[in-house]
Amino acid sequence: MSRVRLVNISKHYGPTLAVDQVNLDVVEGEFVTLLGPSGCGKTTTLRMIAGLIEPTTGQILFDDQEVTNLPPNGRNIGFVFQTPALFPHMSVADNIGFGLSVKGRPKPEINAKINEMLKLVDLAGYHDRLPRQLSGGQQQRVALARVLATNPRVLLFDEPLSALDRNLRETLKYNILDLQRRTGKTAIYVTHDQSEAFAISDRIAVMNQGRIEQLGSQTDIYLHPQSDFVAEFIGANNRLDGRILEGGSGERTAVQAGALTLQCPMRPDLKAGDTVAAYIRPEDIAVLKNDDHNYRNVFEGAVEQIIFEGSVAQLRVAVAGQTFRVDVSGTERLQLLNHRGQIQLGFNEVTLIPIQQAQ
Amino acid sequence: MTTTTLTKSSTKGAGQARFNSRRLIDLLSHLYIWFCLLLFVAPFLALFNYSLQQGTSGIYTLSNYSYIFGSFTNNLLTSLRVSALAISINLLITLPAAYALVRYEFPGKPLLLSAVTLPLYTPAPVLGLGLVLTYNFSYGLITSIWGLVFAMVVGTFPLMLIPIVVALKDLPLVFEEAALCLGATRWQTYFKIVLPLIGPGVSAGILLCFIIVFNEYLVTLFVAPPSVQTAPLRVFNLVRTAGIQNTTAALAAFMQIVSFTAVILFFRLFGSRYLKGTYLI
Amino acid sequence: MTSEVSPVRATELGKAVGAGSRFRRWRPALLLLPSILVVLLFLFYPLAFILLMSFTLKESFLSPAGSVYTWQNYIDLLSRYAPNVWVTVKLAGLAALVDLIFGFPFAYILVRKIRYRDLVRGFMVFPMFGALYIAFGMRFILLPGGWLSPLFDLLGLQGVQILYGLPSVVFAMAIFTFPFMVMNIGAALSNVDPILEEASICLGAKSWQTFWRVLLPLTRSGVIAGLLMCFGWNVGAFAEPLLLGSLAEQRALAWTLYQRGVVQLDYGLGAAIGVILMLLAFTVNYTSLRYSRGALVQ
């Protein structure tokens, strides 16, 4: 159960910068996820924590011990790969006992541990099975048992569920979280799947092009994205580019985006004249039936398309030259299914993110 | 009515003719294959047939075989000894070399690969002459069995290397990474994980090496000291001096039977996958 | 996906942060050292030795006066021993052609039609045991009183003539390298989609036209690789010319090398023959690799 710290970690592959000055501080027992698209550097970072890749610069510390130059077998970690990677020529029991047997632990101790682990992952009695006789989900559970058997300081997960089908992913995801909670181990998890990250993490680090764009809880990231990458990568978002208008107060201001004027909360670091991207979440836009509402921003638009997704109806509405995506849930969505023509939209929540002036 | 019947039967006839000619072609194809296979095996069969007789008497007996176990035991044992030594040394040098070639990046790999597969392109007499000269004038190995052993080693080195390289390439890296992360040292990872999993490839290399070395007579002719007479060399010398004898035929047939059995055993145990890319497949 | 790191994963394990980092960089070199040493000592050095020897006069290497350096050996090879060179090339070339003629249909049927491939592969192992057994065995078959003698009597041929002559030597050599040809053409054929042949037939082509205009061009590289490989492996033929050939065939270079070089101690000439053989075999086999595209593992 270690605290994991990354200090200015970078990785160069020739001229390519895969990981760029990453700093991360994971508290003991915390579950942190590195979330991002392919190629963002999350797996490279994870592998550097494991010792499978050597950082070009920077330091990695477990508690107060610098492990940057230690090989993986000296760090006492547990790495769960994308494929279960169970040793095909060994039984389930031998796989689980592998970590202890290479350390020369006595047989009785190893056997006791194997039994304990099998019970932990709900596979008691599977001692003598071979990996090829197990299903994908069972294999991944044995892989979990295998890493837990060595009592590692840190658990590292490299997209362990991406090779499994949807239903299995749901159950196994919570198994992993459950095991982490019960054992209290620090966990660092890599995935590109948002819902996975949101379901099990304490904090999420959103990564893009080798950097951590934002580190925070689910609510932080979702409700207060700090960059346009985060705003667009996490969930769906409507984006309008515009300028901050004169005459705002300390708390509120107005943004001119094309033909629309948006009323929104002010940010202390912004001033009139700044170019901003204004983001409005589809679920924050309400369909208005009458004037009985409190929305500051009201617009009328023409419905272009209605997509019934089941629990949500997605509307595409053209408002003054822009297309808004509006998500409606609840019973209301059913009433809108056959809507044609004009529609009234209202919203309050607008997130402003400054756009770099120099292009 | 009649017209329709005629048309029906004529199409039926044509269809059948096409069907028959296709079957005929298939039959001829199979016959051709078996004909060629027979040609491969004919020399062996002829030897085998002759080995079971005394002279050309037509009486079949195993007496020649008991003869070879009497008079040629030395040669057979020498052959086995040379094979075992050559295989062992080959394993010692190819296992690390294969690992370096597959798991590490370094400059000049293609050149290195070409260099180490060179023995395959060196005609046996050339290798034989070069080695006999070298042993005589530089290394002083001309009177030792090790001269022969190393000649065999260098000649079959690529044949051992290639199946092992193929097996290593097919082994997903993730197994070694998993073992490392679980706390195993590089050595432990190699012996407990890598080696068992490339076992079939290694066995393929051993098989190929054995077949070549066990039956090798040409380089042996150049390089072997007079005290070391392997069985194939004995066959060669006997054919040249004593002509065609049943006993010689028996020895030759026996060598081939042993080799063939080894191949069949391998196929049974491991299938033909691991021999891809070598002479056999 | 971990695709962002796949291309470098192999290297990275090799460089995985390790204790003893000083030695880490040399690890591949250390692992390769024994092999390189063996190949250097027992292949390259002898070959260099031969090259050097080929420029010495006869056994002058042994003489106390020291070696006499000369081009004479090569001149002899091009003049006096030219028939030997020619015979070697002729035999190997003919064997390669025979392999092609018999081997192409064999490979075609093997790849396209039959299912018991492993059984066939089992039989194809026999030539690998060495040309000696093939030559030895063929003697039996072709001898008077051998299996083919009734056929010979029927055709009015003298068994002995057939036995000791060009046809039997070429045939034995062809048997020896037959699997090489089949392997190369087979690999090339398996890369040709059967649909192409069907298309050709549907367009009205007769079988030989499909072969000539569709199959052959597409398998050209396999054919060339096979021809070259068979040639290269037969250039050093020793037992076949000796046991099955007449005096003409026994001029094959491998045997000349042995006679002159080892028995008569004319090291200079023997070495020169060795160089020529080596050049022939090496260039031919190396070129065949360019065409073989996967028949042999790189």
Q: Which of residues 143-202 of C touch B (CB under 8 A)?
A: 143, 145-147, 172, 175, 178-180, 183
Tokens of A41: 């550097």
pLDDT single digits (tens) C13-30: 555 554 445 556 778 888
Give dist(CA A259, CA A278) in Å, integer.
14
Q: Which of residues 73-92 of B touch C (CB under 8 A)?
A: 89, 92
Look up the CATH number of the domain holding residue C201.
1.10.3720.10
Range of C201's domain? 92-251+281-292
| DSSP structure class, residue A245 | P
Q: Mark yes or no for CB contact B43/C34 under 8 Å.
A: no
Q: What is the mean pLDDT of chain B?
A: 84
Give dist(CA A161, CA A181) in Å, integer.
18
Chain length of chain C: 298
The DSSP string of C179-218 is HHHHHHHHHHHHTS-HHHHHHHHHTT--HHHHIIIIIHHH
Nearest alpha carbon to residue C62 among C267, C275, C296: C267
Give dist(CA C279, CA B115) in Å, integer.
15
pLDDT single digits (tens) C246-260: 787 788 888 888 888
Give dist(CA B92, CA B101) in Å, integer.
15
pLDDT single digits (tens) C39-91: 999 999 999 988 888 887 776 666 666 667 777 778 877 888 888 888 899 99
Higher pLDDT, C57 or B45: B45
Q: In whole angstroms, what separates CA A22 from the centre of its chain?
A: 16
Average pLDDT over residues C173-182: 90
Instruction: Give pLDDT tens digits along chain A (359 positions).
Output: 789 999 999 999 989 999 999 999 999 999 999 999 998 999 999 999 999 999 999 999 999 899 998 999 989 999 999 999 999 999 999 999 999 999 999 999 999 999 999 999 999 989 999 999 999 899 999 999 999 999 999 999 999 998 888 888 988 999 999 999 999 999 999 999 999 999 999 999 999 999 999 999 999 999 988 898 999 999 889 988 888 888 777 678 888 888 888 888 887 788 888 888 889 999 999 888 888 888 888 888 999 999 999 899 999 999 888 888 999 988 888 888 888 888 888 888 788 887 765 44
Domain spans in chain A, listed from the N-terminal domain onward: 4-232, 236-354
The CA-based angle A292-A297-A301, given to 5 degrees, is: 90
Q: Quick one: pLDDT at residue C66?
A: 65
Using a CB-CB cut-off of 8 Å, the residues of chain A touching C1 are: 38, 82, 159, 162, 192
Give just the sign of the alpha carbon dihedral C181, C186, C191, C197.
positive
The C-alpha torsion from C6 through C10 and C12 to C17, rounded to 10°, is 140
Do B125 and C257 contact (CB within 8 A), yes or no? yes
Q: Quick one: pLDDT at residue C3?
A: 35
Q: Mark yes or no for CB contact C28/B244 under 8 Å.
A: no
Q: Say whether pLDDT at C113 is over 80.
A: no
Give dist(CA C99, CA A78) in Å, integer.
58
Task: Using CB atoms, pick whichever of A83, A147, A150 lies closest to residue B174.
Answer: A83
pLDDT band of C208, cuts 50, 70, 90: confident
Give dist(CA B167, CA A316) in Å, integer.
55
Average pLDDT over residues C94-112: 90
Instruction: Sort strands A154-158 and A77-80 into parallel, antiparallel or unpaired.
Output: parallel
User: Of all helices (H) and strands (E), which one includes residue A166?
Assistant: helix A166-183
* Poorest-pLDDT segment among A327-331, B109-113, B268-272, C107-111: B268-272
Give dist(CA A21, CA A212) in Å, integer.
9
**Test mutation, C1, C3, C5, chain A, max A CBs within 10 A:** C5
Using a CB-CB cut-off of 8 Å, the residues of chain B touching C282 are: 118, 121-122
Give dist(CA C67, CA B206) in Å, integer.
43
Tokens of C71: 């081009």
Give dist(CA B9, CA C219) in Å, integer.
42
Question: Treating both helix axes as pointing N-terminal to C-terminal, what angle do B231-242 and C131-142 enclose, rounded to 10 degrees?
Answer: 30
Q: Which of residues 19-48 of C touch A (CB under 8 A)?
A: 19, 21
Give every CB contact of residue A73 below 8 A, 6+ residues apart in sequence: B180, B181, B182, B183, B184, B185
Do B228 and B79 contact (CB within 8 A), yes or no? no
* A4-232 CATH fold: Rossmann fold (3.40.50)
Give dist(CA A190, CA B182) in Å, integer.
19
pLDDT single digits (tens) B120-172: 888 889 999 999 888 888 877 777 888 999 999 999 999 899 899 989 999 99
Using a CB-CB cut-off of 8 Å, the residues of chain A touching C3 are: 38-39
Indicate left, alpha or beta for A295 from its phi (over 0: left) and psi (-120 to 50: alpha): beta
Q: Does domain A236-354 have CATH number 2.40.50.100?
A: yes
Task: Using CB atoms, pick whichever of B89, B132, B154 lies closest to residue C43.
Answer: B154
Q: Mark yes or no for CB contact C17/A51 under 8 Å.
A: yes
Q: Mark yes or no for CB contact C18/A71 under 8 Å.
A: yes
Do A142 and A84 contact (CB within 8 A), yes or no? yes
- Domains in chain C, number: 1
Contacts within 8 Å (CB) and 24+ apart, A134-139: A134/A86, A134/A92, A136/A84, A136/A163, A136/A164, A136/A165, A136/A168, A137/A164, A137/A168, A137/A171, A137/A172, A139/A84, A139/A86
Tokens of C220: 């050209």
Q: Could you tell me if residue C83 is inside a domain?
A: no
Task: Name the percent of chain C lying above pLDDT 90.
Answer: 12
Q: Quick one: pLDDT at residue C20?
A: 44
Give dist(CA A277, CA A353) in Å, integer.
5
**Test mutation, C38, C99, C163, chain B, max B CBs within 10 A:** C38
Tokens of A175: 């198994």
Do C225 and C186 contact (CB within 8 A), yes or no? no
Question: Treating both helix axes as pointing N-terminal to C-terminal, what angle do B145-170 and C27-39 enclose, rounded to 10 degrees?
Answer: 140
Using a CB-CB cut-off of 8 Å, the residues of chain B touching A89 are: 196-197
Q: Could you tell me if residue C120 is inside a domain?
A: yes
| Structure-token match 């295998």, residue found | A146
Using a CB-CB cut-off of 8 Å, the residues of chain C touching A43 are: 2, 4-5
Q: Say whether pLDDT at B18 is over 80.
A: no
Q: Could you tell me if residue C145 is inside a domain?
A: yes
| Alpha helices (H) in C211-263, listed in sequence order | 216-218, 220-234, 239-244, 253-256
* Most confident range, picked from A199-203, B59-63, C118-122: A199-203
pLDDT band of B91, cuts 50, 70, 90: very high
Contacts within 8 Å (CB) and 24+ apart, A191-194: A191/A33, A191/A34, A191/A35, A191/A157, A191/A159, A191/A161, A191/A162, A192/A35, A192/A36, A192/A37, A192/A38, A192/A42, A192/A159, A192/A162, A192/C1, A193/A161, A193/A162, A194/A35, A194/A233, A194/A234, A194/A235
The DSSP string of chain B is -HHHHHHHHHHHHHHHHHHHHHHHHHHHHHHHHHHHHHHHHHHHHHHHHHHTBSTT---B-SHHHHHHHHHSHHHHHHHHHHHHHHHHHHHHHHHHHHHHHHH---TTHHHHHHHHTGGGGS-HHHHHHHHHHHIIIII--TTSHHHHHHHHHHHHHHHHHHHHHHHHHHS-HHHHHHHHHTT--HHHHIIIIIHHHTHHHHHHHHHHHHHHHHH--HHHHHH--TT---HHHHHHHHHHHH-S-HHHHHHHHHHHHHHHHHHHHHHHHH-SGGGTTSTT-
pLDDT single digits (tens) A22-65: 999 999 999 999 999 998 999 999 999 999 999 999 999 999 89
User: Of all helices (H) and strands (E), which one includes residue A60?
Assistant: strand A57-62
| DSSP structure class, residue A249 | -
Hey, is the C-beta of B172 within 8 angstroms of any chain A C-beta?
yes
Distances (CA, A) of A105 to A72, A97, A110, A151, C187: 19, 10, 7, 13, 51
Question: Treating both helix axes as pointing N-terminal to C-terminal, what angle do C131-142 and B246-270 enclose, rounded to 10 degrees?
Answer: 130
Q: Mark yes or no for CB contact B178/A78 under 8 Å.
A: no
Q: What is the pTM of this model?
A: 0.84
Distances (CA, A) of C147 to A235, B43, C74, C172: 84, 11, 44, 16
Do B235 and C132 contact (CB within 8 A), yes or no? yes
Do C238 and C261 contact (CB within 8 A), yes or no? no
Q: Say whether pLDDT at C294 is over 60.
A: no
Task: Name the percent of chain B lying above pLDDT 90.
Answer: 35
Helix, strand, coil percentages (3-state) for chain A, rounded to 5, are: 25, 35, 35
Question: Treating both helix axes as pointing N-terminal to C-terminal, what angle do B231-242 and B246-270 enclose, rounded to 10 degrees?
Answer: 150
Q: In whole angstroms, what separates CA A67 from the centre of its chain?
A: 26
Do A180 and A31 contact (CB within 8 A), yes or no? yes
Size of the A and C interface in Cβ pairs below 8 Å: 50
